[in-house]
Structure 1
Amino acid sequence: MRTTTPSKPIDVLLVEDNPGDVRLVEEAFEMVTNEIRLHSVSDGTEALEFLSDGREDDTTPFPDLLLLDLDVPRTHGFEVLEEVRDDPALVTLPVIVLTNSTDETDIGESYDLCANAYLTKPDSQEEFVSLARAVEEFWVQTAKLPPVPAV
């Protein structure tokens, strides 16, 4: 199992097409912890490529956690989630859906596709900081993350 130490930060992949939301998430995590190294891509296709590259290339970090917006271009968030859960090398990757939708159908489908959590995007910077703190407290300090898949 992977353990967190100051010399080994947690790599988080943020899949988000809104540059303003990317910046809010980046700033929130910077305010909360130095144990999370945030990487971002702007669409689902880039997310799947990043995950593939992380398995095949030692220079691309493999994420320990995926923050996934559902409404992203090219490959929709549900498709990304489905591909992650169908891939034996990715199936244990924790996925937190972080999206604007409060639609019960989206929530249900996310859990049907085995998302680990469903969070609605906050409305303010303070709420983003609170969300980042909660993610850090649970996913970095409390939860035991699965090992990085072998290539």
Structure 2
Amino acid sequence: MPEPKERILSPHLLTFLLVEDDDNHAHLVMRSLQKARVQNRVFRVSDGAEALAFLRSEGDFADTPHPDVVLLDLNLPKLSGHEVLAIIKQDEHLKTIPVVVMTTSDAESDRVKAYEHHANSYVVKPLDFDRFRELVRDLCLYWGVWNEPPEGE
């Protein structure tokens, strides 16, 4: 019986949508994403309403690409991260986009609510810069190499 072939990992270009209202956190995430994989494209919006407009290609976001992954903060102006997540996961055109809740909140109630709204992952932003970069690198590795989205996604 022939031995099974080892799976060859082929990283692909990722488009991230970062939904983050804190400029310092956004800068850290964007810099870390870009350093983790040079090819990554990162778009940022700073409130929940902009996030939905981006995802629906509305207004100023009419020509933006469909993101592969959404990195979603919970504490946002206009619409909270929980509200945005619930809307994404109820929308037939958006619900298959992986949403990673990336927040400073380690509250059990926030975790439970995020998973009730079908978050794909929930991570608490580390305070240590090196651990933060490691987290972002691992997210890129997982979503860009290991994860296998359905065809056409």
Shared fold, TM over 0.5: yes
List per-residue Cα deviations over 1:36-94 (Å, max 9, x = no partner).
Answer: 2111000000000000107x94x211101000000000011111001001100111110
d(CA) in 2 for partners of 1:66, 1:138: 14
Post-superposition offset of 1:26: 1.2
Contact 1:93 1:146 in 2 (8 A): no
d(CA) in 2 for partners of 1:107, 1:129: 22
- Which sections of structure 2, spanning at least 5 residues, go unmatched? 1-9
Post-superposition offset of 1:124: 2.7
Post-superposition offset of 1:146: 3.7
Q: How many pairs does the alignment contain?
A: 142
> Equivalent residue for 1:65?
69
d(CA) in 2 for partners of 1:146, 1:129: 28
d(CA) in 2 for partners of 1:91, 1:76: 17
2:123 is paired with a residue whose SS is strand
> Equivalent residue for 1:39?
43
Alignment of 1:111-122 (within 5 A): 111-122=115-126
* Residue 14 (str. 1) matches residue 57 (str. 2): no
d(CA) in 2 for partners of 1:4, 1:96: 19
Runs of 4+ in 1 over 3 A off after TM superposition: 146-149
Percent identical pairs in the alignment equals: 36
Post-superposition offset of 1:148: 5.2
TM superposition score normalised by structure 1: 0.87
> Equivalent residue for 1:85?
89
Compare relative contact order (CA 8 Å, sep 6+) and give the higher one, 1 or 2.
Answer: 1
The structure with more radius of gyration: 2
Post-superposition offset of 1:4: 4.8
The 1:39–1:46 alpha-carbon spacing in structure 2 relative to 1, beyond 3 Å, is same
1:102 aligned to which of 106, 126, 131: 106
- Which sections of structure 1, spanning at least 5 residues, go unmatched? none
TM superposition score normalised by structure 2: 0.86
Post-superposition offset of 1:145: 2.3
